[in-house]
A and B are shown apart, each in its own frame.
Chain A
């Protein structure tokens, strides 16, 4: 079958939307129509709520949705990672049971990978999955789990074989979060927010059919999830289609987005709020302090150069040229920018930086910057991991000799408990 043209796709989706779009429908009701027609996820297989279209047409479809103001399928949160993983590795049963409710937004998902004992070393997970009868029994603890308190389902990485080497002993499960063996507690951060959770498993049960792929292939499946996470990265995109429009469906969507975005509300502060620097410097008169000017200039140079570097990478990509090293630096550079921005905000703010909340400038925003910036260089791959990635993948430097991959995982040294 030959590939359709962009014009054909545009015409088809436009005609369908004109015939079907109705802002007075319920959100789920509308999204069920999207599942039926395949226009909600056009790059997915026809059999599974898509239209088998090349992914490049998604932007065309999105444009048509935006033109008419139509709401799309649920895209925010971990659910898109769940969908991508299930499409790549799941059984028909998984696809049947989960994909539609992911698209309609009826189910919320969470990602149960990180553990207190292993942060950057994800594959060092020690949450246990033991076979009891034909079921899997889960014991252990996960951490940094966004939306775990709301989630219906979790993507779980757990160790099923302790005699295998590290990466080969892991299994990947879909876990029912609404069961007695799963307890979720919020994790309070140094900036006072609690955007994440700790999840405790005490004999939590996974039915055998909810093992994804084979025991021992868990890491491979997790890699798919992580790859999609990196691609979608920031979690900060504004998912709402048509803020401010009237209609039942917009109200429902607004509420959905608000719930999903709640944990991310301090993320702009985490990045340092470079956008506030000049305004604050002028307001406080620090713009005339030659030392502060030097520090502001350092920040602005870094921030502009990072912006241009990202544009260089994009330009190369658009021309279909191999991406140079400039494409791999963004995450690390954003940490440098955030730290320098926090330093500059401190210089500008002076004694007021001793205060917090409504007593501090901009109703606490400045104070929140100062205590949120340390998260940026840890979350989503620490600066140290970024430097490893750059040196190994871009600069082709050798890996450090490993001491945990040549023996059964049970013999690998574990954290020493603090006394």
Chain B
């Protein structure tokens, strides 16, 4: 198992970080998050092309760069750090992964090159009004190729050019009868309603399907396994994004107490601050190790991936939120103001904590898989 990044990976991270710092200062984040669509399409396409971001883990056969989840993890970690407003997670982590897991070779050849080039944004619609993340809760039906029902909490669902939809054969239950369909973002009968989100940097939408025509992706009735696999990969992607944000919050809070003087000395010289900062470092570094390890396990085809995905997400959920709580506290009153940037990451920590299942859920899932892993 790989335990450290190669010099090439480090170099890639450095240049990406530099590009993101230039493209996505918090002023820009605030500007984008206030818009309904949540990102600037032209700016995103430019950055995406320059850095080849949405091509990272797409195989070369399908127009991608042919890297793995280790590299995708780096991109996501840096995006979590910079809070870049772009439909990257929805396109690369969700839709691309689902297509790779479920699609036929011909479908991948048709769909992935446009995603890799950055021309098409995409998402995966699986949750419905209850917000569940499991296949069994899917109620949206597919009769022939006609989709009927409602999806909700769909990441970038109101802007995606291509939507991968998880649907079921009428009358089927549980893991049976599930299929993926691809739907054009502008399809007839599809109503897309943006939701007002607590974390404004993470846009969600409700999608209503009335006799919408979809194209079957992969094998009819056999989506349960590729969906489960996709969710494991997505959890690992999210964990990597989260540790990037947590580390940034930690560093910003540290920089603040270093320069802030109270009672005639730097706040950073008070042991209560030093110990909090040390604890934050421990939390973030442990969560990083779990996220990195899980990504490496994916690339190596490790059989423990289901356990590791749950573990990494549970660890990141706790660490990110705890770091955010400490970071606000270290800033004091200013940390609770809108003008201070801390709340941008605090809200991202909160939304990430809940997205695709919280720590309680994933600790339980981890325990269910622990036996297999031993």
Q: Is the A/B pair a real complex?
A: yes
Query: B254–A326 contact, CB under 8 A?
Result: no
Query: Which of A309, A316, A384, A391 lies in contact with B286, CB distance below 8 A?
Result: A309
Query: Which of B289, B363, B370 lies in contact with A278, CB distance below 8 A?
Result: B370
Q: Please, which residue of chain A has its CB at the minimum distance from the CB of B365?
A: A297
Taking CB atoms, residues of chain A closer than 8 Å to B254 are: 395, 397
A59 to B281, CA, bound (A): 33
A305 to B277, CA, bound (A): 19
Residues 252-290 (chain B) with a chain A CB within 8 angstroms: 254, 257-258, 265-266, 268-271, 273-275, 277-279, 281-282, 285-290
- Flag B180-219 by CB within 8 Å of A: 1 or 0 each: 0000000000000000000000000000000000000000
Taking CB atoms, residues of chain A closer than 8 Å to B285 are: 309, 325-326, 329
Query: A397–B290 contact, CB under 8 A?
Result: no
Taking CB atoms, residues of chain A closer than 8 Å to B9 are: none
Query: A400–B366 contact, CB under 8 A?
Result: no
Query: A297–B268 contact, CB under 8 A?
Result: no
Verify if B293 is at the interface (C-beta below 8 Å from A): yes
Verify if B11 is at the interface (C-beta below 8 Å from A): no
Stretch of A161-169, A195-203, A288-296 that contacts chain B: A288-296
For B275, B282, B366, which residue has the most chain A Cβ atoms within 10 angstroms? Answer: B282
Q: Please, which residue of chain B has its CB at the minimum distance from the CB of A398?
A: B269
Query: B278–A301 contact, CB under 8 A?
Result: no
Query: B281–A390 contact, CB under 8 A?
Result: yes
Query: B268–A397 contact, CB under 8 A?
Result: yes
Counting chain A residues whose Cβ lies within 8 A of the other chain, the interface size class is: 35 or more
Query: A388–B274 contact, CB under 8 A?
Result: yes
A386 to B279, CA, bound (A): 10
Query: B367–A297 contact, CB under 8 A?
Result: yes
Verify if A231 is at the interface (C-beta below 8 Å from B): no
Verify if B3 is at the interface (C-beta below 8 Å from A): yes
Query: A293–B364 contact, CB under 8 A?
Result: yes
Query: B282–A294 contact, CB under 8 A?
Result: no
Tell me the count of chain B residues lying within 8 A, CB to CB, of chain A: 37
Verify if B360 is at the interface (C-beta below 8 Å from A): yes
Verify if A56 is at the interface (C-beta below 8 Å from B): no
Q: Please, which residue of chain A has its CB at the minimum distance from the CB of B274?
A: A391
| Contacts A294-B360, A297-B364 given; does A305 touch B289 at CB 8 Å | yes
Residues 299-337 (chain B) with a chain A CB within 8 angstroms: 311, 314-315
Verify if B292 is at the interface (C-beta below 8 Å from A): yes
Query: Which of B271, B277, B292, B364 lies in contact with A400, CB distance below 8 A?
Result: B271
A325 to B315, CA, bound (A): 18
Verify if B172 is at the interface (C-beta below 8 Å from A): no
A375 to B201, CA, bound (A): 46
Query: Which of A297, A302, A384, A401 lies in contact with B269, CB distance below 8 A?
Result: A401
- Flag B330-367 by CB within 8 Å of A: 1 or 0 each: 00000000000000000000000000000010011011
Q: Please, which residue of chain B has its CB at the minimum distance from the CB of A328?
A: B281
Query: Which of A300, A311, A401 lies in contact with B370, CB distance below 8 A?
Result: A300
- Please give the distance in Å from B272's CB to the nearest CB on chain A: 10
A305 to B311, CA, bound (A): 9
A384 to B366, CA, bound (A): 32
Taking CB atoms, residues of chain A closer than 8 Å to B35 are: none
Task: List 6 additional contacts besides A300-B370, A321-B4; criterion CB under 8 Å.
Answer: A290-B364, A301-B314, A315-B3, A332-B278, A390-B282, A397-B268
- The 9 tightest CB contacts between A and B, nearest first, are A391-B274, A297-B363, A315-B3, A305-B286, A308-B289, A387-B278, A390-B278, A315-B4, A398-B269
Interface residues of B (CB under 8 A from A): 3-4, 254, 257-258, 265-266, 268-271, 273-275, 277-279, 281-282, 285-290, 292-293, 311, 314-315, 360, 363-364, 366-367, 370, 374
